Chain A
């Protein structure tokens, strides 16, 4: 934890691994998760790398596992997630795994095939059953229709074809009566949505010489190939002659209708139906057994599947990593390059030794530290508490290697600034309770692994939310604001000395702090509750909160500038201290810190009960006007009885401050580039060809870094043109920097007023909500009041949570984030680094588990 304030010191290492031991070593490193490997063969295709076959085998295994998983999910068998983390198996175990998966997959496929065949059989029989049942109705109707032809025709499916139906039925009747005319029919089952097209096609292709009856099968049937439920209809087509028969059959085939034999005689049909029923029953038992078998196979697989997934993914990750390595000439060992935190070199060595022992290799792996001019990755070690804050910082930009990490300060300043805007004891308590709940139930909640993005954001920031809630409770206590009401904890220090009738009749009565209305010493902590009922509450609060915002802001910015000093000292950029830090701090102190001091002076020196009119409320100066006059070199004006200035010699002193602050601007602008130029010339004379400025400059972003570093990289030949270019760029860069700082300190100071604005808005909103909603519920008397309160409280509570806690909270959060990113970090933070992404099984498994669920 020693390096909370800066990112870890990293080093580039070269790793020589013996071919046999490489797998075990990388596996150990993966468990450790502290090493970032570099791709040593970036221009080699994915399929031309050394271990591509192993990767492919892993892919294949993963595919089989996915197939298993899909089948398990289909059956709704719970998968046992013990959360255990098996080690990556030895390469030789891979064959066993492969064999196991192969066997399982084949078994499952076979079972599935059998089940499908059985189901298909089952489906056919069910369809036949339905056909027999439905056609029975048709035949019955036909007989009925023979007796009463007119009434039957009106029942037909398609009234437009009445005529044919009548004749057809008539013919059938004739046939039944022993006539020679033969009317053939086919019966079958078709998907219900295909019926209209089917009917139309039949009509067209057979020129209306067929008669179709259909009836819907009410219960859905299962499609054996994919298990979906489909709705089907039974149809029966009557026609005359063989030619029509072939045609009808072709159409049926075309519409994927299944045809079934259907005997003509009612007795045969009944017999057939009986047969079908018995066969269905038999099939049912067989199907049940198949399902049982399948279930057994799957349950056995479900126990291990998570474990297997972990193993396979680990193997795959290891081979992917090995693919990044170089083979040495003798093919005996693999060479890797990696970034490692210096502090963990020991641990890594240990892990490597463990890996070597496990693989039984005799030659130990060699870990060499290498010198590198490349920028190392930024690695901030975090725990679950600091992690959330580090993420807030990193989402702005990853810190440049070894620069000051603002995260530890953010832990306090972020919730605090948030709380200044969100100050309300009640709302803060709701938020703190929510945060505390998440923190206390951390483990079970984390194990659930929700997919909901919003929840994950909340959960990831649970410590931030907890702190924000607690700080809000504190500021809420100071503001004495609880759901827009005050708590009278210590008893107000103000009292009303008028009698009741005076108070009731006079609207404009005021309490005078210089009399006995006020006890002459303040409320112990926070705001006196009397302000809650005062008419001039907002004016009073504004004056207080506005000043507080500026004070907090100036101090935070000052702190930011001081952090830049720390950076400069660490990177040994002496020039930057003299030419950037000092003028910057002078500029900020002489203008804005002075203003803050004036605020304190005003608070302490001016009051109602001092007796002297010059320090009384009438003569209290406006800090804002004073400050504006100071910058514009104007003299203060004041009423005759008052002093125009707060102390003697103020005007002269202020002018001095402004002049010095203004001098700082050219200082910031020109001093640094000029000094760099001069130093460069000096160095050119003795060394003649010492120009490494460009090389270093491009790496560290700041050219002067090279000047202060003692050991210099091998000199490059001088480039005159580049130098010209460099100088111009240097001045432009510095110009931008200066303008940004000078304008920034004005606008940033003003920007901190958002603390006041949001706080005001929050307080007003909660007051409005109380007055407009909950107060209405409190106005009724008797039992009506109970009901009214019940309703209004529900509305009030919902709105409080939704608008005041959630929406206002979000808005305060975002403003607070901005204050940190822009106002605070712009003073010192570069954020030009890149993340340290160690090879870690944990991260790989996490992302793999997330992937398929999306």
Chain B
């Protein structure tokens, strides 16, 4: 039934999004890209794709950072276009997507000020999708409570932040905890929002978000080994909307080393497959890359169904992956370090 009336509000944008999706580089494009000798070659080839002349007005010699900026700029323009044309509930959905960038920006700025970097240097590094008005004044705050009261209370992130106010002061450790608590609250809220939307959106998005939550839980666990984070604190950071919840998370909370994490993942078919063959040795893919691959797979699957919002999320994620790929290849080309050039993650 939702499908019948979906097109009234969402049809145009879904069509637009699917059109954008067709512009995502194919395997053949990557094969051509990795053959490039210089960044100029790369530019020439990208001109033949959907990117068109996005680098045409950049003076030579090209920098990788310029390519990165331009790629991101293009993506942001596309996303903003869709956001501007969206109506409820899609607009809220798209806003939810931007919240994660806001979290990243806040953390970036706080960390930066902690290291006494000038704010003007940090601002350009922020993701434009996650910028908000009060962002630049964030360095006023010295404690989480201040951060909340002065800066975040007006932003949509306020409800996520409530759990963090108790932290005493802003040091590296606490920032990391704040980031993860925020992210946890955000993921759970997004998950519930998608669930409320129901229909195909819920089917598709809950799958993707559940994976995102589990990935965070696993990564947090692995990264916490050898730090002063206690197991209790760690357990508080796990987003509780994934497939690992509740038993897997409980087991993860008890884990002491990588092998135990792997043992927990064994119970879950899709995750155990990711741990298989993951490693840091040459020729093996890192666990991170494996996770990325799985994410890409899930996002590509989102396009198999129609009349749902998942395509917007998936499009953004796939496009981000593509940007990472292009930047990776550009870096390899620029540094003449061709051995690892094939470590990009193909999408189609």
Contacts and interface: CB of A to CB of B under 8 A. Distances in A.
A256 B119 CA distance: 11
A204 interface: yes
A55 B40 CA distance: 11
Nearest to B148: A204
Contact of A251 (B32, B135, B140): B140
Given A60-B60, A66-B57, A47 B44 contact: yes
B129 to A, nearest CB: 19
Contacts of B140: 201, 205, 247, 250-251, 254
Interface string A38-70: 000000011110001001100110110011000
B137 A254 contact: yes
Interface stretch (B5-13, B83-91, B150-158, B298-306): B150-158
Contacts of B151: 201
B134 interface: yes
Interface string B15-56: 000000000000000001001110011001101100000001
Interface string B254-281: 0000000000000000000000000000
Contacts of A250: 137, 139-140
Interface string A238-249: 000000000100
A255 B137 contact: yes
A242 to B, nearest CB: 15
Contact of B40 (A56, A194, A200, A247): A56
Contact of A47 (B41, B137, B149, B154): B41
A201 B44 contact: no
Contacts of A56: 40, 44
A302 B83 CA distance: 40
Interface string B57-82: 11110000000000000000000000
A59 B56 contact: yes
Interface string A51-92: 010011001101100110000000000000000000000000
Nearest to B59: A63
Interface in A432-470: none
Interface in A703-737: none
B241 interface: no
Contacts of B331: none
A206 B32 CA distance: 57
A610 B78 CA distance: 82
A250 B113 CA distance: 12
Given A67-B57, A204-B149, A254-B119, A46 B45 contact: yes
B136 interface: yes
Contacts of A253: 119, 136-137
B138 interface: yes
Interface in B82-120: 119
A67 B150 CA distance: 44
* Max chain B Cβ within 10 angstroms of own Cβ: one of A56, A62, A66: A56
A55 B45 CA distance: 13
A543 interface: no
B112 to A, nearest CB: 13
A205 B139 contact: no
Nearest to A49: B44
A197 interface: yes
Interface string B129-149: 000011111111100001001
A45 B32 contact: yes
Contact of B44 (A46, A66, A67, A205): A46
Contact of A45 (B40, B45, B134): B45
A48 B40 CA distance: 12
Contact of A63 (B47, B56, B146, B154): B56
Nearest to B32: A45
Interface string A12-55: 00000000000000000000000000000000011110001001
A246 B56 CA distance: 45
Contact of B136 (A59, A66, A254): A254
A59 B57 CA distance: 9
B277 to A, nearest CB: 32
A204 B137 CA distance: 12
B25 to A, nearest CB: 14
B278 to A, nearest CB: 33
Given A52-B44, A201-B150, A201-B151, A45 B35 contact: yes
A59 B40 CA distance: 11
A850 B334 CA distance: 35
Contacts of B146: 205
Contact of B150 (A46, A55, A205, A256): A205
A805 to B, nearest CB: 36
Given A197-B133, A201-B134, A204-B150, A254 B139 contact: yes
B36 A47 contact: yes
A104 to B, nearest CB: 14
B60 A201 contact: no
Contacts of A55: 44
Contact of A48 (B35, B48, B149): B35
Contacts of A59: 56
Contacts of B134: 197, 201, 254
A254 B138 contact: yes
Nearest to A48: B35
Contacts of A201: 134, 137, 140, 150-151
A46 B57 contact: no
Nearest to A203: B150
A56 B138 CA distance: 45
Interface string A189-207: 0000010010011001100
B68 to A, nearest CB: 20
A775 B151 CA distance: 74
Contacts of A67: 57
Contacts of A254: 119, 134-140
A201 B138 CA distance: 10
B204 to A, nearest CB: 36
Contacts of B35: 45, 48
Contacts of B37: 47
Contacts of B141: 205
Nearest to A197: B133
Contacts of A47: 36-37, 40-41, 44-45
A620 to B, nearest CB: 60
A255 B37 CA distance: 44
A52 B134 CA distance: 48
Nearest to A67: B57
B158 to A, nearest CB: 12
Contacts of B154: 197, 200
B70 to A, nearest CB: 14
A255 B150 contact: no
A727 B348 CA distance: 42
Contacts of A60: 59-60
A786 B241 CA distance: 82
Contacts of A48: 35
A251 B137 contact: yes
Contacts of B138: 254
A73 to B, nearest CB: 14
Contacts of B57: 63, 66-67
A67 B59 CA distance: 10
A781 B60 CA distance: 80
Contacts of B48: 46
Contacts of A205: 137, 140-141, 146, 149-150
15 contacts: A47-B37, A47-B40, A47-B44, A48-B35, A60-B59, A197-B133, A201-B151, A204-B153, A205-B140, A251-B140, A253-B119, A253-B136, A254-B119, A254-B140, A255-B137
Closest 10 A-B residue pairs measured CB to CB? A254-B137, A47-B41, A254-B136, A205-B150, A47-B44, A204-B150, A197-B133, A250-B140, A251-B137, A205-B140
Given A46-B44, A47-B36, A52-B41, 11 more contacts: A48-B35, A55-B44, A56-B44, A60-B60, A63-B59, A66-B57, A200-B154, A201-B140, A201-B150, A247-B140, A254-B140
Interface of B: 32, 35-37, 40-41, 44-45, 47-48, 56-60, 119, 133-141, 146, 149-151, 153-154
